[in-house]
Amino acid sequence: MIVLRDHMEDGQGWGREQGRLVFQRLLEQVEAVPACVVFQISMRGVERADISFTSETLVELARRFRRVKGFCLVDLTDRDVKENCDAAATRKEQPLTVWTRGKAEVLGAQPSQGTREALEFALQRPRTRAAEFVAERPGLSIANASMKFKQLWEQGFLLREESTADTGGTEYVYSRIA
C-alpha cells in the first residue's frame, strides 16, 4: 500500500508544481516493485488536495500505467478531496476506483451504458472471464461479452492477463483494480 501523505510535505496538496514533485516520489515507489500489478493508495492523513494536485499525482499515475498496472484509492473520507479527485480524473478521462468497506465507486471517466453492467459484474469478484458473464446473461454472446471487457480494459477500468482456455485457445482473465 502506498500512503500518499508519506510523500507530501504536510497534509495539504496544492497545485501542479507540488503535484509533479509528489508524482516523482510515487513513481519511484511503484518502479521499485516491478512485479506488483495493483497498488492501493491510502488517502489517510490527506486533509486537502486540489484538482491540479490530484491530477498531477493520482490521475497521472493511473494514466501512465493504464492496461499494465492498476491504482485504486482507499481511506478516502473527505468529501472535498473526493470531489477534486473525481474532477481531475474526469478532466483526463481516466477512471479511478475508490474502495470503501468492500464497495467500489468509480470516479472520473464512467463506463458507457453498454459496458456498465459488465463493469459492475467484474467489480463484484476479484477475477472474471467473459464466459462467466455470459453464463449469467442469457442471450448475450461470448463475442459481445469479450468486446465489453476488452473496452473496459482499454479504458482503464480493469486489468487483464492472458491464459489458455479449456479449448486450447487464448482466453483473457479480467481483474478488478482493488
CATH number at residue 166: 1.10.10.10
Residue 24 pLDDT: 99
74 CB contacts (<8 Å, ≥6 apart)? Answer: 1, 40, 41, 42, 43, 98, 99, 100
Euclidean distance between the first and final Cα of the chain, in Å?
11
pTM across the whole model: 0.94
Q: Are 160 and 172 in contact, with CB atoms under 8 Å apart?
A: yes
Provide mean pLDDT across the span 117-134: 97
The three cell numbers of residue 139 are 442471450
- With 0-12 / 13-18 / 19 or more C-beta atoms within 10 angstroms meaning exposed / middle / buried, residue 171 is middle
55: Cα separation from own chain's centroid: 14
Do you know the residue count of the chain?
178
Domain boundary among 110, 127, 161: 110
Residue 168 pLDDT class (50, 70, 90 cuts): confident
CB 37 within 8 A of CB 110: no
> Residue 67 and residue 153: Cα distance in Å, rounded?
6
Where is the domain boundary, 93, 110, 127?
110
Indicate whether 104 and 154 sit together in one domain: no
CB 11 within 8 A of CB 5: yes
Share of the chain above pLDDT 70, in %: 100
Q: What are phi and psi of 117, to 5 degrees?
A: -65, -40
Same-domain check for residues 125 and 144 = yes
Q: Are residues 21 and 55 in the same domain?
A: yes
> How many folded domains does the chain comprise?
2
Name residue, grid cell 482499454: 154
Res 10: pLDDT:
96
On whether both 117 and 106 belong to a single domain, the answer is: no
- Shared domain check, 90 and 32: yes
120 pLDDT band (50/70/90 cuts)?
A: very high
Least confident of 57-71, 88-102, 159-173: 159-173
Domain boundary at 110, 133, 166, which? Answer: 110
| pLDDT value of residue 138 | 86
The C-alpha atoms of residue 66 and residue 62 are separated, in whole angstroms, by: 6
Which of the four pLDDT bands, split at 50, 70 and 90, describes residue 110? very high
Looking at the fold, whether 101 and 153 belong to one and the same domain comes out as no
Give the domain range for residue 131.
111-178
Same domain, 19 and 101: yes
